């Protein structure tokens, strides 16, 4: 069976994405905290962990900081060594002298002594890359995180980041799915393979575009043939690729169960070729 890793840590190939837990985004783009569903979302995270999912992904931005608090509550009292907790530094703290401060605040909310993987959330045009890559390295040197990564980087940006970083860049978290392919092209694959960078695919089911009858016909046909849902097929398509893990959101045990069932979906080579021919962007 294919092993899925980030850096030197072996992981369950399906992680737990937390965007939308503990808050969301207003129409004007600003994020907000929402405490109404905390209990249900904490239960869902704990349920996922109980099934063996050990990779929990969150961010400073999510829920205006409240999402990290939800994750912290969910993992409180659990076996820390079995978990892999990742979070991301937002633009507001991307200057070199601010990154470690953001990591320290994330640690407080997550109730952790050290983060497993600290990302910069995106490349910021107005901030020199050396600032936030340097800041990530400082956070690692200070013992605030075990590994560092980037998010939403193109192949060219990833190559620049690798060149600037004293420590290995172990992951690039990108929007990647059956319907969104441009973030992982041949150049990205080759670069990640050369430098042992794991692709962490977010939005794997395209916010329901791959969960019902709106999915493209080849996806619906393949799911029916394999006896799974389109969402399970979409997740299986991702984790069947070397060097790729994914982080679907699962805010209830029912969603966790459906995502987890993707582990049992085996896509034959001919079906994968047909799926690879699906062209589109959600």
* pLDDT tens readout for residues 188-233: 999 999 999 999 999 999 877 777 667 888 889 999 999 999 999 9
Band (45; pLDDT cuts 50, 70, 90): very high
Determine contact, residues 211/231, Cβ cutoff 8 Å.
Answer: yes
Q: Which domain holds residue 190?
A: 5-276
pLDDT at 282 over 60: no
Q: Is residue 188 part of a domain?
A: yes
Q: Is residue 187 part of a domain?
A: yes
Q: Is residue 9 part of a domain?
A: yes
Q: Is residue 147 part of a domain?
A: yes
Indicate the helix (H) or strand (E) that contains 270. Answer: helix 269-276
Q: In the 8-state DSSP scheme, what is residue 155?
A: H
Provide Rg for the chain, Cα atoms.
18
- Neighbouring-strand partners of residue 32: 24
Q: Is residue 281 part of a domain?
A: no
Q: Between 70 and 1, whose confidence is greater?
A: 70
Determine contact, residues 95/139, Cβ cutoff 8 Å.
Answer: no
Q: Identify the pLDDT of residue 120.
A: 98
CA dist., res. 170 & res. 6, Å (int): 6
Q: What is the pTM of this model?
A: 0.96
CA dist., res. 238 & res. 15, Å (int): 12
Q: Identify the pLDDT of residue 152.
A: 98
Q: Identify the pLDDT of residue 1.
A: 55
Q: Is residue 122 part of a domain?
A: yes
pLDDT at 141 over 70: yes
Band (105; pLDDT cuts 50, 70, 90): very high
Least confident piece of the model among 99-103, 192-196, 218-222, 238-242: 218-222
Average pLDDT over residues 249-259: 90
Q: Is residue 282 part of a domain?
A: no
CA dist., res. 235 & res. 7, Å (int): 22
Average pLDDT over residues 9-13: 96
Q: Identify the pLDDT of residue 214.
A: 72
Determine contact, residues 211/230, Cβ cutoff 8 Å.
Answer: yes
Q: Identify the pLDDT of residue 277.
A: 82
Band (281; pLDDT cuts 50, 70, 90): very low
Q: Is residue 264 part of a domain?
A: yes
Indicate the helix (H) or strand (E) that contains 139. Answer: helix 129-141
Number of structural domains, the chain? 1
Q: Identify the pLDDT of residue 157.
A: 98
CATH of the domain at 101: 3.20.20.100
> CB within 8 A of 142, min separation 6: which ones?
100
Mean pLDDT for all residues in the chain = 94
């Amino acid at each position: 069976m294919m092993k899925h890793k980030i850096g030197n840590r072996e992981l369950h190939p399906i992680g737990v994405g937390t965007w939308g837990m503990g808050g969301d985004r207003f129409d004007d783009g600003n994020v907000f905290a929402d405490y109404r569903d905390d209990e249900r979302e904490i239960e869902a995270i704990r349920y996922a962990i109980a099934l063996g999912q050990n990779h929990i992904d969150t961010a400073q931005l999510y829920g205006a900081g409240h999402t990290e608090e939800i994750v912290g509550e969910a993992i409180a009292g659990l076996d820390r060594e079995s978990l892999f907790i990742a979070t991301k530094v937002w633009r507001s703290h991307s200057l070199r002298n601010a990154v470690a401060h953001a990591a320290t605040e994330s640690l407080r909310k997550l109730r952790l002594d050290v983060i497993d993987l600290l990302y910069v959330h995106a490349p910021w045009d107005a901030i020199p890359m050396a600032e936030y890559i340097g800041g990530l390295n400082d956070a690692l040197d200070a013992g605030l995180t075990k590994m560092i990564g980037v998010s939403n980087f193109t192949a060219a940006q990833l190559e620049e980041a690798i060149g600037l970083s004293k420590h290995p860049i172990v992951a690039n978290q990108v929007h990647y799915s059956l319907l969104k392919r441009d973030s992982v092209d041949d150049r990205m694959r080759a670069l990640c393979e050369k430098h042992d960078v794991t692709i962490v695919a977010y939005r794997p089911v395209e916010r329901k575009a791959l969960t019902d009858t709106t999915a493209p016909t080849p996806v619906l046909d393949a799911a029916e043939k394999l006896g799974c849902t389109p969402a399970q097929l979409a997740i299986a398509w991702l984790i069947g690729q070397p060097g790729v893990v994914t982080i679907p959101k699962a805010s209830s045990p029912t969603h966790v169960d459906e995502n987890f069932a993707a582990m049992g979906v085996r896509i034959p080579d001919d079906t994968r070729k047909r799926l690879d021919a699906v062209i589109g962007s959600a």
